Structure formats: structure tokens, C-alpha cells
Amino acid sequence: MTLLLAPIRRCALAGATFLLTACAGQAAVPSGADQAVAITVPTIARPQGETAQWWFRSGAAQAALASTQAHANGQQAKNVIVFLGDGMSLPTIAAAHILAGQRQSADGESYRLSFEKFPFSALSRTYETDQQTPDSAGTMTAIMTGVKTRAGVIGVSQQPLRQDCAGARGHELVTTLELAAAAGMSTGAVTTTRITHATPAATYAHLPERNWEVDAELTPEAKAAGCKDFAAQLIDFPAANGLTVAMGGGRTEFMRAGVPDPEYAGQVGRRLDHRDLIAEWQAHHPHGAYVWNARQLKALDLAHTPRLLGLFEPLHMNYEHERPQDPAGEPSLAEMTTAAITVLKQNPNGFFLMVEGGRIDHALHAGNAYRALDETISFSDAVKAALASTDPADTLIVVTADHSHTMTFAGYPHRGNPILGKVVGRTSSYAEKSSKVLATDATGQPYTTLGFASGPGYTGASDRQPEGPKHYPHYPHTYSDIQHGRPDLRKVDTTDPDYLQEATVPLKDETHGGEDVAIFATGPGAAAFHGELEQNAIFHIIVQHAPRVRAELCRLDSCNVAGVPVNRPRYADWLKQVETPRQP
């Protein structure tokens, strides 16, 4: 397959204009050239012929074609922010904007979340190299590296098997954040999960097992093969100075085993290697700030804080619903986003930031629509905060999800019906009149607008809760079949934050969904996000419109004669670029 693409010839770095194709190892294209440049993607047998290089090249071709079709060539972003709503399916977005509007006594159906107002959107295909329905590890790796990979691995290609430490060596993939760091930009990762969880880890780390977040979780074989856990990889990040900003949960993964947590009695550090990673970070960055509660973060002069590490919970951060009750005080995702940008934009070279609304996914796994929608609204607030803190002329903001979930949006509720309520309206699309009475199923029982195809909301008895409606938290080990039919919901408050919507298939955790997810974009290069894209093409659209990141790929011999990165960069070559002494 050959795609004819107009070359993107020039980019601005530190105020200078130069030929992008003059990157190391590339021939310059004359500034007046108007010829099309062909990116040839080999025709292969799929899936068996797919390789990391094929994924990288095909993603580059798709992204370049999308840019040409949208006349976005030449648009250049100084800063890039990727917002990742973990598990944020299209039904989740639709239900969340209705809830957001109804909370304001507005028309929920026409209400728009902050990112739904962006001028450009697309669909993203989320399948992995080995699974129709993906996980967060492989999908975020695709978004961050331009290469699709298998489920369960972080920052490595599909070649090594899961947990094969020795086999993964040499198959590491270079991430956008790593490229930005090498290019002299500031970098950051912000999340409501553990900072070592799959999504944030995919920005800075490389392991064939997503669960190796702390050294206590490494297998003996992994330790013997020299694998390093994600917490250690974050602190030991090889580029000079490491991540500029890192904020989220997971505090005990950075603390020595047995050391008491500063906030919760009974919580202790988990590291078995005797390393105090927080103290090490402070020693590396004596002028930086480490904080573990909202009060400390608020007290900082962020405009003059060169580095920031925030670990606000021992494990994941609280759901937004519980956040106000946090003993020590916990910042919102919007507050963390504003703080991160304030620190990052001190760098005249620009920045790359990833912000994850990670607990959207957790609430959906728990079968709890209230928390999932509440987290999505909080995520939208963080996007709004980023818009208020950046210049749309030089900042590309991309909002997407890594995968979907099985939450359903069904029935024929009348306009304005509470989104978390029971369906009031028609029972059939053929009904001639809409009534303001409870719609009922074929057995005469009412039902809710939102439901789940699988998960802990199954109404049969479990070893934790009796038959009937289930309530959060519900983590069962065993279920029994439903004995008495669907429960009568007439006297059940389905808008209660702890109500679990009914699930068809009984599972301890609700599953991901395999359908496409949305991409929303604004800023330089955003027009290239249109149509339906392979998920790994997101990386390529970003780097093709971020001159410093793109130039770094050219230095790694990734670019063709038009300056388009088409060859997968070698991680070993990136390491050579960044092996410089740490600076305070």
C-alpha cells in the first residue's frame, strides 16, 4: 500500500526556523518543493505478518494522510497534552453530559462537556495484537509509542511473551514523553490512579508485565533477569532530570517495607529492596517539591517550582465522590492539572503532559454508574482547567480513551428523565404515545436507563450480598443463579451513589468493551483527527505536529526524506542520546 503525502517541511525550535528533513541522517527537501512523497506500507498477511516496524510505519502513513486530507500540514504545536479517560466509552460520555447538565438544572441531553466542544473528533480502533477487547496496558502503549502490542505489557512490542523479562530486552518502544524529555522539553504525568498503574507507566516505563508496579511484585525470574519495577523506573528515568512533574497515588510503592504511611495508620511501605525512592527523588532534585496532601500542594509557589512529585494516597486516589472526606485533603484532577501546567510551562522549549482520569475505569469495573459519570465530569473539569492555562495557538490537546466498557444506555426514557433513574416513557419504539409512567419489561418489572452487560450488579445471591439489587462496594467470589426473577425496583432509589446497575453476566469485575472510542482534539494539528483511526496513529499525528519531538525522532534515524518519522526508533539509541549527568 502506497500513500502519497505532501511533505511537511519546516518546524520552529527555540525561535529558529529550519528544514525538518535536515535532521540527522536525512536529506533536506528544498523549501519550494511541492512534490508528493510516498510512504509505502508493505502488504502483509494479518495478523501473523504484523511487526513493531509495520505498526509504526502504517501508523505514520495513516497520520500523514489524515493531516494532508485536513490541510493540517505545517501546523506546529509547542506543547502537547494528552487526556486519557480510562475506559471512557461513548455511552459513558453521553450519560455523563446528561448528568452534568441535570446537576445544573439544564437540559442534559444537549449539554456538552468541555472536550465535546472541541472542533475536531474521530474514532479510535482499540484492539490489541492478541485481543479483540483490549486492556489498558497495550492500548496506552499504542497511544504513547505508535506501535500496537499485546495485552498486559507496557512499553514493549508484541514480540516477547508476557512476563518474559529476558525476551523483552531489545523490544522496548520509545514513548512520546521520552522523546520530549530528550528534546529538552518539560514532561509530566498526572493521574487519579497509582502513578505506577498501566496508563501512567506507559508514558515512562518498559516491562512485559503491567502488574510489576513495585519490586515486591516482581517474580524471582524477573529479578534475576534484571527487570526493574515501575516505581523504580520512574525515579531512575534515564533522561536528564527525569519527569518534571509526576502526581497521583501509589505512595507506599516508593517507601521502604514497614515504614509507616504519613496519613493512614496501618499502611506501610512495600519496597523490599530497602530503597527510599521519595528520598532519592528529593536528593536528585533539591530545589523540587515533594507533597502528599492538598494543603502542601496549595502552599507551593508553583510558578517558581522547578520539579514536582505528588503522591497523595498509598494506593489509588479517592473517587471524586469520596474526596471531600479525605483525612489529609486530596487535590482534584483539575487542581493537579493546573499545578502541573504551571510548573511545566516555565520551560521555553515547551512541554508534554499526560493526564489520566483513571477512576472512570474503576467505577465501571465496579458496576457503579454514579461514580463513573461523576469521575467523567471531574475529568471534563480537568480539561477545562487545561484550556484556561494554555494558549490554543501553540498547544495541541487530545482527549481520548484507551478502551470501552459494557455500560449500556437503553430504553425509551422521555426527554429530561434522570439519567440514573428508572425509565419513564415508552416501552416500544412503535408506541404511538409517550407516557409519563414507569416503563416495564415483559414480566412487568421497571428497569433503569443504564445497565451493564457484565459485572457485580448481577442480582443473583453472592457470597457478599443477598439476591436482589446490589450496592457498592460489591466484590463477590461466588454467585448463585437468580431464583426469583428480576427485582422490583419501584421502591429502590437507583439514583443513590452506591446503587449498582443490573448486570446480565455475573462477574466479580465488569469487563472492558471492544468497540471504538472517541478522540477529541483542539490546537495545532488537531484537524488531522478525523474519520476512523487505528489507535497507534494518535502518536503519529502528535509527533508529526510537534516539531521538537519530531526532530528527536529524526535524530534517531526514524525519518524519511520528507522528515516524516516512519522507522521505529531503537530504545538503545534513545538511551545513548540521554545518557548525561543529572542536573539539580
Q: Taking a C-beta distance cutoff of 8 angstroms, is the pair 339, 247 a contact?
A: yes
Place of cell 502503549: 141
Which helix (H) or strand (E) segment holds residue 503: the answer is strand 503-506
pLDDT by 10s per residue, the chain, length 584? 655 444 443 333 333 322 333 333 333 333 333 334 679 999 999 999 999 999 999 999 999 999 999 999 999 999 999 999 999 999 999 999 999 999 999 999 999 999 999 999 999 999 999 999 999 999 999 999 999 999 999 999 999 999 999 999 999 999 999 999 999 999 999 999 999 999 999 999 999 999 999 999 999 999 999 999 999 999 999 987 789 999 999 999 999 999 999 999 999 999 999 999 999 999 999 999 999 999 999 999 999 999 999 999 999 999 999 999 998 999 999 999 999 999 999 999 999 999 999 999 999 999 999 999 999 999 999 999 999 999 999 999 999 999 999 999 999 999 999 999 999 999 888 887 777 899 999 999 999 999 999 999 999 999 999 999 999 999 999 999 999 999 999 999 999 999 999 999 999 999 999 999 999 999 999 999 999 999 999 999 999 999 999 999 999 999 999 999 999 999 999 999 898 544 44
**For residues 358 and 81, what is the distance between their CA atoms, to the nearest angstrom?**
16
* C-alpha pair distances (Å), 45 with each of 48, 50, 150, 579: 6, 8, 18, 39
Assigned domain for 41 exists:
no
Please give the residue range of the domain that contains residue 351: 79-386+395-403+523-576
Nearest to 109 by CA among 334, 384, 409: 409
Question: For residues 313-349, b (16+ Cβ closer than 10 Å) or e, as one string?
Answer: bbebbbbbbebeebeeebbbbbbbbbbbbbbbbebee
pLDDT, residue 1, reads 60
User: According to DSSP H, which parts of 206-322 are helical?
Assistant: 220-224, 230-235, 277-284, 294-299
98 burial class (0-12, 13-18, 19+ CB within 10 angstroms)?
Answer: buried
pLDDT, residue 38, reads 74
Assigned domain for 216 exists:
yes
Nearest to 512 by CA among 144, 202, 88: 88
Q: Quote the strand ranges of 196-298, DSSP E.
A: 245-249, 289-291
Which helix (H) or strand (E) segment holds residue 550: the answer is helix 547-555
Assigned domain for 583 exists:
no
Instruction: Specify the CATH number for the domain of residue 269.
Output: 3.40.720.10
Assigned domain for 168 exists:
yes
**For residues 524 and 314, what is the distance between their CA atoms, to the nearest angstrom?**
38
Assigned domain for 164 exists:
yes
Residues in the chain: 584
Assigned domain for 285 exists:
yes
pLDDT, residue 431, reads 81
Say whether 136 is catalytic: yes
C-alpha cell at 439: 416503563
- Residue of 136, 332, 378, 404 marked catalytic: 136
Assigned domain for 192 exists:
yes
Its pTM stands at: 0.94
Type of residue found at 571: Y
Assigned domain for 315 exists:
yes
Would you give the distance in Å from CA 161 to the centre of its chain? 23
What's the sign of the alpha-carbon dihedral 513, 398, 91, 382?
Answer: positive
Q: Taking a C-beta distance cutoff of 8 angstroms, is the pair 488, 398 a contact?
A: no
Q: Are strands 499-500 and 470-471 parallel, antiparallel or unpaired?
A: antiparallel
C-alpha cell at 81: 497534552
**Max CA-CA distance within the chain?**
76
Structural domain total, the chain: 1
Q: Taking a C-beta distance cutoff of 8 angstroms, is the pair 244, 343 a contact?
A: yes
